Structure 1
Amino acid sequence: MAHIDYFFSTISPFTYLTGTALAEIAERNGASVTYKPLDIMALFSRTGGTPPKDRHPSRQAYRLQDMERRARRLDKPLNLKPAHWPTNSAPSSYAIIAAQNAGGGDLAGLVHAFGRAVWAEERDIAADDVVRDCLTSAGFDAGLADSGLLEGADTYATNLESAVKEGAFGAPFYIVDSGQCFWGQDRLEDLDLHLAGKL
């Protein structure tokens, strides 16, 4: 069975646009997934990236055009300049880590709920009530927002170190145990073909 380490940020528009497609690809190909939320701004600084606000204006303009095109292709609502972006991604990430450890709900749905909250619903995923609501909507106990915070913080930091060590430099980033790396929501088709032995 193939395994995928999925490095992502809950505030990334391209993580949001991934939706639940990764989980569907993994299920179709009999692969397992470990969800590894991380601090994307810290990853940029560790791997030579630049935060969007510090990029050249032409890069910023292209990013917005690309986001809009991707959203249209995927038929997903997207506010290009959401009210609560950027925001602190730690609370939502800790909740995902706790949910993954607890099991029993829809983890892909939870990740997507956080992305949808930022990019389509104008909600602040650093707010406790939003974190709880996203947990509940994905079939998890809202109390996970208050549990395992120390472990969540440790795992969140470890995920960043693992990303740097394994070669991830953006989000979403998918690393298969075959050694193949795929960066971006627009590389999901390639990941699917790779897992199927066609690429």
Structure 2
Amino acid sequence: MPISRVTKLYSVQDAKIAPLTSDPSGGPAVYGTSIDVPGIQEMTISGEIEVKQLRGDNTKLATNSAITNIEVAVTHAKLSLDVLVAILGGAVTDSGTGSTEVSTWDLTSSNATLPPFKLEGVTPPNGVDIVGGDLHWVLHKLTLSAFPDLGFANEDYRVVSFTASADPLIANGKWLSAVMNETAAAIV
């Protein structure tokens, strides 16, 4: 018997980004190594639908709707230079040794590529109605839709956030997946 298709959603425990490296027609999409989104706080998925109505004879004759956009907004507690590279482009350079070690992320006119990426978030175990289960939201092909919120906050923590728009994969047409597991599974 299949598991229930109805559940509560409680919290978000983990999220990872993976660079999309290949999206061939008819072939499987290929992703790079997953990168942790540190201190994930919120992942909000929304969409836009365009509605067309056909009118004639002084009445509505038909309605047709189409999804025109799916967008995700992500807020996380800690800055990750590797996440910035995966969603915005740029490059990280490590230098120095011992107490003089430095990691520098540089965004230049030639490396600000806005690369496509996958985002997957998951509830904690028991964050769904299935005891010991979880739910994963997967957005298969995203591109930033606005520059990330970065910087500092006076006498407070500064959280990081970004928004991205989804496109369907060329490989299989997938935009968004909700995967409910009877047994909680880590993001790969």
TM range (shorter): under 0.3
The structure richer in strand per residue is: 2
TM-score by length of 1: 0.24
TM-score by length of 2: 0.25
Higher gyration radius (CA):
2
The structure richer in helix per residue is: 1
